[in-house]
Amino acid sequence: MDDATVVYVHGNGNKVRKELLKAQWDRALFGTDMGAASRMAYWAPVRYATPLPDDEPDPLSGGPPPPIRGLPDPGVPRTPEEFIEQTLREARRKAGPALGRRSAQAGEEQLANWLAKMTYSAETLGRAEDAAPAPASSDLAEALPLPLFMRAPVFELLVKLTFEDVYAYFFGGVGEAMREVVRGELAGVHDGPLCVLGHSLGSVIAYEVLREERREVALFVSVGSPLGITEVQDRLAHPPAVPVGVAAWSNVSDLRDLVALDHWLRPEYEPPGLVTDHLVRNDSDNHHGIAQYLRSAPVQQELPTLFGRVASDLAE
């Protein structure tokens, strides 16, 4: 299908500039630049004033965590409970007063419950991965009197930035601006089969837009998505259901992905026959990295098949 188009919706955290981010996703998924056959719904400027430098890795890409240098600052939380409270407090501050505290407090307790689940899961996962043989460079981390989730800063960063952006989406008055970015990219697609691929919070934004638009979509792909989380479902504008017009929905996650703690969308989103849940191995350090999801077997089998000649022609 040489007239197919894929619209990407990126996930949490700041990103490199739009053109470079699209090219990175193209190469991870198709092995080549897809040109006009792919579009990036680039909502990062809604939350972040300037993009990351071109040579700076995405902090949520799943790369190696920064080295531990000495003892932690006194302001660093020492327990998961302190981390939860500090993260919630920071999310409130960064979200700003757009909706007012009273409005946010009416529902933030539910979302904070998801934060707690992610944090405790991070500690459990850190314990499991700590049990594996580690190189000598980890000796310093082992010697520090830190809880396990703090000894794995890649998990801490994933939980913190994910929660802050999701909180801002639901309570910070920026959700509509994020959705408008996705609407704008979809409006630029006029012909041929359409695929929408959302990562992390991007899958939530894409889902809500598709619920409103009733757009004909050959394939909706969610990777590392929190759409299975009850606390997230309760904040959606409409009850969970496959968006009208979506012919097939493929949901892909790693069991160790802290953002996608509930991996089964099929029982929640009717009609269930249109949803397929896939479990994959995402071996990025935080098990949430987008490149690893784009290279996973279910995504590789479905997207290139949908695009057919486009990918093969561009690769020549």
The single residue listed with the structure tokens 């077997």 is 297
CA atoms within 13 A on the CB side of 184: 10
- Could you read off the pLDDT of 30-45 as tens digits, one per residue? 999 999 999 999 999 9
pLDDT for 150 beyond 60: no
- Res 98: pLDDT: 54
Q: Which residue has the higher pLDDT, 307 or 228?
A: 228
- pLDDT band at residue 145, thresholds of 50, 70 and 90? very low
- Res 303: pLDDT: 86
pLDDT for 67 beyond 70: no
- pLDDT band at residue 134, thresholds of 50, 70 and 90? very low
Report, in angstroms and rounded to the nearest whole number, the Rg of the chain calculated over CA atoms.
19
- Res 29: pLDDT: 94
Please give the model's pTM, rounded to 2 decimal places.
Answer: 0.88
Give SS3 for 277. Answer: strand
pLDDT for 152 beyond 70: no
Name which of 126-140, 155-169, 198-212 the model is least confident about. Answer: 126-140
Q: Quick one: which of 267, 268, 250 has its CA closest to 195?
A: 250
Q: How far, in Å, are 84, 92, 130, 227, 279 from residue 119 at the CA level?
A: 7, 18, 16, 18, 21
pLDDT for 28 beyond 80: yes
- Res 240: pLDDT: 96
Strands (E), 101-227: 194-199, 219-223
Max mean pLDDT among 57-66, 87-96, 218-227 falls in 218-227
- Cβ atoms of 282 and 254 within 8 Å: the answer is yes
- Res 59: pLDDT: 78
**Cα 2 from Cα 276, distance rounded (Å):** 25
Name which of 68-82, 184-198, 246-260 the model is least confident about. Answer: 68-82
- pLDDT band at residue 316, thresholds of 50, 70 and 90? very low
* Residues 6 or more apart whose Cβ sits within 8 Å of residue 133: none
Report, as an integer, the average pLDDT of 178-200.
Answer: 96
Write the DSSP string, 57-83.
PPTTS--PPPPP-SSPPTTS-SSHHHH
- Could you read off the pLDDT of 68-102 as tens digits, one per residue? 444 344 456 668 889 999 999 999 988 876 555 55
Report, as an integer, the average pLDDT of 235-261.
Answer: 96
- Res 139: pLDDT: 40
The single residue listed with the structure tokens 């802290």 is 258
Angle (CA) 95-233-10 rounded to 5° is 60
Q: Which residue has the higher pLDDT, 124 or 249?
A: 249
pLDDT for 24 beyond 60: yes
- Res 149: pLDDT: 59
Q: Which residue has the higher pLDDT, 314 or 231?
A: 231
- pLDDT band at residue 142, thresholds of 50, 70 and 90? very low
The single residue listed with the structure tokens 């996962």 is 125
